[in-house]
């Protein structure tokens, strides 16, 4: 069975949740390990008040016993603390219906008044924000209230993707695979970056989360903070570019034989599904289109010490839809967030008249957090590819298959990919 997951829940509903299916038995998983990753998602200069409201603590409801996966579906839940203020606006039952668990004949008053009353949370959102899912969702589903769209389209959903990715990371760690990320651009500020050079080693990322913008370059980090301040003062938002790197990935994950088995395609889809991401590239990416072939590919070299290796990282560790034994290097571009405190022109859908886009609580920039979400996305796709390649109902069975494959690779000169890596 292939690894897969589904999420559910609205931004201001009671909780967000996920079912993760296909994880082998015996993988070490605890709530504290997942919570460490959830906390990282809340980092980053330019975040809004939601990060102060929500503690993002996971509840593991099924699929794990005594700190080990059981091979059965894993159920995860993160409660929304803001739900206390939204119980009426986001209620499951229609206005005026009795609370759940009471007889139908029992009248119930709706706290906060009727829709459109004193409570602003009850008022329909009729002015779609340019750049958001609001308008397309209203048209697609026939809604008069964009609240029905934006609650699910919200990046709040990515908290659960990080939780799922944290479980996937535990599987990868059992095979020496580690993942990290860093921000290389925020708005107009770019950190020094050489796409030809091999990526930094894992130890270079040991303190990246201490940077307010999760940037490895101190000078660029300071300039990025200043850019966020300037954007906030102008009622603007900032996008950026982040890079995700995975070390210790064995060659041969994915496949060239069908379009939907190519690993770079699957990773790209996963990254593109992150809210506000508009572009993905591996290695040189778009830069490769401006070069001659001799400057766009990685020579294949051999030494007795390293075995088969590449002196550059232009392919990003993927060739023909398969990992090639080098570190996986992928970047994604995130657009500025759609909620502006000085809104762009829009229309009021009730009258089709000019209006300003609606204002929802938002961040000035969420690029550092998006990089953490992207780590989770890459972790999930790598874990899925590992399970497909090495099979097994348990982690021990996967290890046996993995070790046999690793021995065959070493016999053919592939040794350098298997380096013990720790952050």
Q: Is residue 161 part of a domain?
A: yes
Q: The domain that contains 280 carries what CATH number?
A: 3.60.150.10
The model carries a pTM of: 0.93
- The total number of residues shown for the chain amounts to 423
CA 214 – CA 396 distance, rounded (Å): 36
Average pLDDT over residues 299-324: 95
Q: How confident is the model at residue 274 (pLDDT cuts 50, 70, 90)?
A: very high
Give the β-pairing of 189-190 and 74-79.
unpaired
Say whether pLDDT at 44 is over 80: yes
Q: How confident is the model at residue 95 (pLDDT cuts 50, 70, 90)?
A: confident
Say whether pLDDT at 114 is over 50: no
Q: Is residue 229 part of a domain?
A: yes
Give the β-pairing of 277-282 and 301-303.
unpaired
Which secondary structure element, helix H or strand E, spans residue 218, and what is its range? Answer: helix 218-233
For 122-145, what is each residue's pLDDT tens digit? 899 999 999 999 999 999 999 999
Say whether pLDDT at 374 is over 90: yes
CA 266 – CA 385 distance, rounded (Å): 10
Least confident of 92-106, 188-202, 340-354, 384-398: 92-106
Q: Which residues contact 289 (CB under 8 A, 6 or more apart)?
A: none
Q: Is residue 70 part of a domain?
A: no
Average pLDDT over residues 213-225: 97
- Percentage of the residues of the chain whose pLDDT score is greater than 70: 92
Q: Is residue 150 part of a domain?
A: no
CA 416 – CA 377 distance, rounded (Å): 25
Average pLDDT over residues 260-278: 97
- Percentage of the residues of the chain whose pLDDT score is greater than 90: 83
Q: Is residue 203 part of a domain?
A: yes
* Coil, helix or strand at residue 13: coil
Say whether pLDDT at 108 is over 60: no
Say whether pLDDT at 102 is over 60: no
Chain mean pLDDT for the chain:
92
Count of the separate structural domains present in the chain? 1
Q: How confident is the model at residue 359 (pLDDT cuts 50, 70, 90)?
A: confident
Indicate the angle between helix axes 367-390 and 395-411, nearest 10 degrees.
Answer: 80
pLDDT at 123 (0 to 100): 92
- The total of other beta-carbon atoms located within 10 Å of residue 86's CB is 19
Say whether pLDDT at 121 is over 60: yes
Q: How confident is the model at residue 419 (pLDDT cuts 50, 70, 90)?
A: low
Q: What domain range is 271 assigned to? A: 155-352+359-411
Say whether pLDDT at 250 is over 50: yes
* Coil, helix or strand at residue 29: coil
pLDDT at 369 (0 to 100): 96
Angle at 259 between CA 256 and CA 261, to 5 degrees: 65
Q: Is residue 236 part of a domain?
A: yes
Q: How confident is the model at residue 420 (pLDDT cuts 50, 70, 90)?
A: low
Q: Is residue 45 part of a domain?
A: no
Residue found by looking up tokens 């999930």 in the block: 380
Give the β-pairing of 74-79 and 58-62.
antiparallel
CA 250 – CA 338 distance, rounded (Å): 39
Q: Which residues contact 179 (CB under 8 A, 6 or more apart)?
A: 169, 172, 244, 245, 246, 247, 375, 378, 379, 382
Q: Is residue 170 part of a domain?
A: yes
Average pLDDT over residues 326-343: 94
Check: CB of residue 397 under 8 Å from CB of residue 265.
no
Average pLDDT over residues 405-418: 93
pLDDT at 317 (0 to 100): 96
pLDDT at 341 (0 to 100): 87
Residue found by looking up tokens 């299916």 in the block: 21
Which secondary structure element, helix H or strand E, spans residue 36, and what is its range? Answer: helix 31-41
Average pLDDT over residues 190-208: 92
pLDDT at 256 (0 to 100): 97
The DSSP string of 392-414 is -SBHHHHHHHHHHHHHHHHHTTB
Q: Of the candidates 79, 1, 2, which has an alpha carbon nearest to the alpha carbon of residue 87? A: 79
Say whether pLDDT at 367 is over 50: yes
């Amino acid at each position: 069975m292939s690894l897969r997951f589904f999420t559910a829940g609205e931004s201001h509903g009671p909780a967000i949740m996920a079912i993760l299916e296909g994880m082998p038995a015996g993988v070490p998983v605890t709530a504290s390990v997942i919570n460490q990753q959830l906390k990282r998602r809340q980092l980053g200069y330019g975040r809004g008040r939601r990060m102060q409201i929500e503690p993002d603590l996971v509840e593991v409801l099924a699929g794990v016993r005594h700190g080990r996966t059981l091979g059965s579906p894993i159920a995860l839940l993160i409660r929304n603390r803001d739900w206390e203020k939204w119980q009426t606006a986001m209620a499951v039952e229609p206005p005026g219906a009795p609370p759940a668990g009471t007889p139908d004949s029992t009248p119930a008053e709706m706290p906060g008044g009727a829709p459109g009353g004193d409570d602003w949370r009850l008022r329909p959102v009729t002015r779609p924000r340019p750049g958001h899912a609001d308008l397309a969702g209203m048209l697609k589903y026939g809604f008069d209230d964009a609240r029905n769209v934006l609650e699910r389209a919200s990046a709040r959903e990515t908290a659960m993707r990080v939780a799922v990715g944290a479980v996937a990371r535990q599987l990868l760690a059992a095979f020496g695979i580690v993942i990290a990320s860093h921000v290389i651009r925020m708005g107009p500020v770019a950190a020094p970056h050489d796409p030809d050079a091999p990526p930094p080693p894992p130890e270079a990322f040991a303190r990246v989360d201490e940077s307010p913008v999760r940037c490895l370059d101190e000078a660029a980090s300071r300039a990025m903070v200043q850019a966020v301040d300037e954007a906030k003062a102008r009622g603007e938002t900032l996008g950026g570019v982040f890079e995700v790197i995975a070390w210790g990935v064995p060659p041969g994950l994915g496949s060239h034989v069908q379009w939907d088995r190519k690993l770079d395609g699957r990773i790209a889809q996963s990254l593109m599904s992150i809210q506000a991401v508009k572009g993905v590239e591996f290695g040189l990416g778009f830069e490769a289109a401006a070069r001659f072939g001799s400057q766009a590919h990685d020579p294949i070299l051999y030494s007795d010490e390293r075995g088969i290796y590449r002196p550059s990282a232009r392919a990003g560790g993927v060739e023909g839809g398969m990992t090639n034994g080098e570190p996986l290097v992928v970047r994604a571009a995130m657009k500025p967030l759609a909620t502006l405190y000085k809104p762009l022109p829009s229309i009021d859908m009730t009258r089709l008249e000019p209006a300003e886009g609606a204002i929802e609580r938002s961040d000035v920039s969420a690029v550092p957090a998006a990089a953490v979400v992207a780590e989770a996305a890459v972790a999930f796709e790598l874990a899925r590819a590992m399970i497909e390649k090495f099979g097994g109902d348990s982690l021990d069975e996967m290890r046996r298959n993995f070790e046999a494959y690793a021995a065959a690779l070493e016999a053919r000169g592939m040794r350098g990919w298997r380096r013990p890596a720790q952050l």
